[in-house]
C-alpha cells in the first residue's frame, strides 16, 4: 500500500504502479466517496471496458491531448472514440460533438482562414447584417 499526501491545492498524486494496474492516465475521471470513514476513488471506466474499448480509449486520450496542444493540426475523434471518451469522463457528453473529426475539420479551416486574413471584423450586429445583405 502506498501513502500519498494532499497538496496545497487539495491535489493528490497517485503512484505510477496504481495507475498502471488500473490502466489510468491524466484526464481520466474518478468518482470519490466516503465509505465507513475511508476515501474510496473509483475509476469511471474501471474494469468495464473490453479490450477493443480500451484501445479506443487510448486512441481518444492521444487525440484529445493533441487537440488541446495544437488545434490547427489535430484530427478529431471518431464517433466510437467520442462515445468511449464520454463514458470514461474524458469529455462532457454535451460537448461530444466538438471533439469529433466532423467538427474539428471545420476548426482547422477556421484556423487557416484566420491566418490567411480571410476574415471580417464588425463593430456591431447591424454592420454584420448590412454586409450579409450585400451578398
CA dihedral (97, 102, 108, 113) positive or negative: negative
Residue 46 has what pLDDT? 45
CATH topology of domain 1-46: Pemi-like Protein 1; Chain: D (2.10.260)
Residue 47 has what pLDDT? 54
pLDDT tens-place string over residues 51-85:
888 899 889 999 999 999 998 889 999 999 999 99
Q: What span, in angstroms and rounded, lies between the C-alpha atoms of 8 and 36?
A: 26
Domain residue limits, the chain:
1-46, 51-116
Extended strands (E) in 1-108: 30-35, 38-43
Q: Which residues of the chain have pLDDT under 50?
A: 46
Amino acid at each position: 500500500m502506498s501513502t500519498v499526501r494532499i497538496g496545497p491545492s487539495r491535489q493528490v498524486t497517485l503512484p505510477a504502479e496504481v495507475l498502471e494496474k488500473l490502466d489510468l492516465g491524466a484526464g481520466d475521471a474518478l468518482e470519490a466517496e466516503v465509505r465507513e470513514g475511508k476515501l474510496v476513488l473509483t475509476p469511471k471506466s474501471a474494469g468495464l471496458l473490453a479490450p477493443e474499448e480500451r484501445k479506443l480509449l487510448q486512441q481518444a486520450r492521444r487525440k484529445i491531448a493533441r487537440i488541446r496542444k495544437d488545434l490547427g493540426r489535430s484530427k478529431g475523434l471518431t464517433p466510437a472514440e467520442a462515445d468511449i471518451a464520454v463514458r470514461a469522463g474524458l469529455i462532457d457528453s454535451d460537448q461530444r460533438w466538438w471533439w469529433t473529426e466532423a467538427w474539428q475539420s471545420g476548426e482547422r479551416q477556421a484556423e487557416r482562414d484566420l491566418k490567411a486574413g480571410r476574415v471580417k471584423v464588425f463593430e456591431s450586429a447591424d454592420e454584420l447584417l448590412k454586409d450579409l445583405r450585400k451578398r
